[in-house]
Amino acid sequence: MLLLAHRGASADAPENTLDAFQEAVAQGADGVELDAMVCGSGEVVVCHDDFLDRLAGLPWEVRTTPWWKLQRADVGSRLGFAPARIPLLEDVLDALPAHFLVNIELKCDHFEDGGLAHKVARLVEDRQLADRVVISSFNPLCLFRMAAAAPSLRRGFLIDPDKRWGIQAHAVTPLVSSHSVHPFHEQCTPERVEGWLHRGLRVAVWTVDDAQRARELREMGVSYLITNTPRALREALL
């Protein structure tokens, strides 16, 4: 079971920043999970929230704010860390070590994605990173677009615990997932995990910081465990 640092090692550094990804490397993670969206000027930025009120105390909407302006936002101080900046996806991909797995979540709640899937596909393919990138999304349309833009890139559907399980797990997942399925960890049972594995899908669960739960999921056969605390879980799982 591989440990992926959730938005980087976000318990110890500001989430989705270069500091958090570097901390994930230092803590011995096997890779990272991060969030990608298109900003107002068309660049792909790494950020989870649609608006920057939680992260920076600013009312800016990321998808309508240009990159030159987003660079001014401090997304570290309000989280209790040193000042930090939103990075471009291309800069994150270039900064991560060659052995790292990268789970890129496509963030888009709208019908149109602003070219997100196509732009991420180009960034990954231009850097020849297909063998260590997994693309995930709660939005099946994003994964359909990714399949059209880059059929060889590995895709995994994120299951929303607040929506109907059966439709997502049994109807949507087989249509859009070529590599993995990404459920919330509380949705995982041995039977469900066994079923996914039998169908050839790897299982990536989020977000687990409890050592006992991590051990249970490892016993089930989970492939990727997404955690805020990779060092602590690594030590607990030895």
Query: Which residues form the catalytic set?
Result: 6, 48
Angle between the N-to-C axes of helices 211-220 and 190-198, in degrees from 0 to 180, rounded to the nearest 10: 40
Q: Which amino acid is at 32?
A: V
Three-state DSSP at 232 gives helix
- On whether the CB atoms of residues 123 and 102 are closer than 8 A, the answer is no
Which own/partner pairs from 163-167 qualify as long-range (CB within 8 Å, at least 24 positions apart)?
Answer: none
* Continuous segment of H or E residues that includes residue 115: none
Query: How many Å apart are CA 131 and CA 237, to the nearest integer?
Result: 26
Query: How many Å apart are CA 227 and CA 115, to the nearest integer?
Result: 29
For residue 90, the tally of other CB atoms under 10 A from its CB is 19
Q: What are phi and psi of 55, to 5 degrees?
A: -80, -35
* Chain-centroid distance, C-alpha 43: 18
Three-state DSSP at 143 gives helix
Strands 2-6 and 224-227 come out as: parallel
Listed residue (184, 179, 189, 186) closest to 221, CA to CA: 189
